[in-house]
Structures are given as C-alpha cells and as structure tokens.
C-alpha cells in the first residue's frame, strides 16, 4: 500500500499544481486540439494562457484569440504581422505548421491572451477528467488512497508511542 501512495502522491500533487498555480496567476488552461502549431504546441498539450494588453503584443508571440468569423471558437497562432486600423490594432496570424497566414485579421477585441508555456500530452486526459467517472477515477480514488495511507501511518505512529509509554511505565 505504501508503494501505491508513493506513486500517487507526486501525480496528485502535480495535477493540483498544474491547475492551481495558473489559476492563482489569473491564467487560463487551454487544451491544444489541432496540429496547426506543431511542433511548438503539439496536439494534446495543455497551454497556459496569460491575459494580456494588445499594446504589449509583438511579432512572434503565440496569440490566443476568438475566431473573428465564429467567436465561440478559440485559436492559438503566431503573430506574423501587426497593423493599426481605424484606431485599433489588428493581428495577422499563422499556424507554425500551416503554409500560409490565416485569411483574416484578428481585431484586438478578440484577443484572449498569449501562451506562456505548455505541458505536452496532459490535454488528452482533461476531457475525461471533466466527466463524473473520469473525475472519480483520476481524482477521488487517488486522493482516497493517499488519505487512507496517511491515516494508517498516523495511527501506527500513535500505537508505537503508546506501546513505548506502556513499556516505560511498566
């Protein structure tokens, strides 16, 4: 049982840190769904998106934005050109794996942020964790195993101390 706890503890702690630290920084987690940004952001990665001021963006930044023709979809592409138009800023973007830039300009109102880092492959389990069964299997069960093991350790230590006291006073 101790081996199982030792195996689950770092995984559980890593999962908590993966979710908690970016949230504390005000960042969003985003799962990379397509290969358009490969190899910089391979599919299945989880990227850390930091909200940013459009004025601070520069060429080469990985921009996360709402698709101009369908704002319900978010895209992550690299900025390849910046222009001022009508008192606002627009960005031309391109996926690293794509042959040509996108066929639209991204207005600054559609900018969500920039990618500050990513963790490969973790994104494949995120949709599963969002289901009740996935949450139970990947969060509740490991947490229960760790808590159970810690309770056994605490009770075992208390038992040893009690036995030592009894031997000492006998």
pTM of the model: 0.71
Distances (CA, A) of 59 to 7, 63, 82, 105: 43, 10, 7, 14
pLDDT reported for residue 14? 74
Q: Which residue has the tokens 């005000």?
A: 26
Q: Give me the pLDDT at residue 86, please.
A: 87
Assess whether 34 carries a catalytic annotation.
no
Q: What is the largest CA-CA distance in the chain?
A: 90
Cα angle 38, 29, 14 (rounded to 5 degrees) comes to 100
Say how far residue 168 (Cα) sits from the centre of its chain: 54
What is the per-residue pLDDT for 103?
96
| Local structure of residue 123 (DSSP, 8 states) | G
DSSP 8-state class, residue 34: S
Of 79, 19, 8, 14, the C-alpha closest to 46 is 19
Residue 23 has pLDDT above 90, yes or no: no
pLDDT band at 104 (very low <50, low <70, confident <90, very high): very high
pLDDT band at 1 (very low <50, low <70, confident <90, very high): low
Tell me which of 10-24, 30-44, 111-125, 140-154 is least confident: 10-24
Query: Among residues 34, 45, 61, 77, which one is catalytic?
Result: 77
Q: Is 148 a catalytic residue?
A: no
Choice among 54, 66, 96, 103 that is catalytic: 103
H-state helical runs in the chain: 2-24, 126-129, 132-135, 141-169
Q: Is 103 a catalytic residue?
A: yes
- Return the domain boundaries, the chain: 1-29+126-162, 32-124
Q: Which one of 36, 45, 47, 102 is the catalytic residue?
A: 36
> pLDDT tens for residues 47-84?
999 999 999 999 999 999 999 999 999 999 999 999 99
Taking the domain 32-124, which CATH number applies?
A: 2.10.109.10
Q: What pLDDT, on the 0 to 100 scale, is given for residue 72?
A: 94
């Amino acid at each position: 049982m101790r081996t199982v706890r030792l195996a689950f503890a770092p995984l559980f702690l890593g999962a908590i840190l993966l979710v908690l630290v970016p949230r504390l920084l005000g960042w969003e987690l985003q799962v990379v769904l397509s290969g358009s940004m490969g190899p910089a952001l391979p599919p299945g990665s989880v990227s850390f998106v930091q909200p940013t001021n459009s004025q601070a963006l520069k060429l080469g930044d990985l921009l996360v934005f709402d698709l101009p023709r369908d704002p319900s979809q978010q895209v992550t592409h690299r900025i390849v050109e910046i222009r001022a138009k009508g008192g606002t800023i627009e960005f031309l973007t391109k996926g690293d794996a794509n042959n040509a830039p996108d066929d639209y300009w991204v207005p600054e109102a559609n900018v969500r942020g920039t990618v500050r880092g990513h963790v490969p492959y973790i994104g494949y389990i995120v949709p599963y964790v969002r289901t009740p069964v996935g949450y139970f299997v990947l969060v509740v069960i490991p947490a229960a195993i760790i808590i159970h093991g810690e309770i056994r350790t605490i009770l075992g230590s208390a038992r040893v101390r009690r036995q030592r006291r009894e031997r000492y006073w006998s």
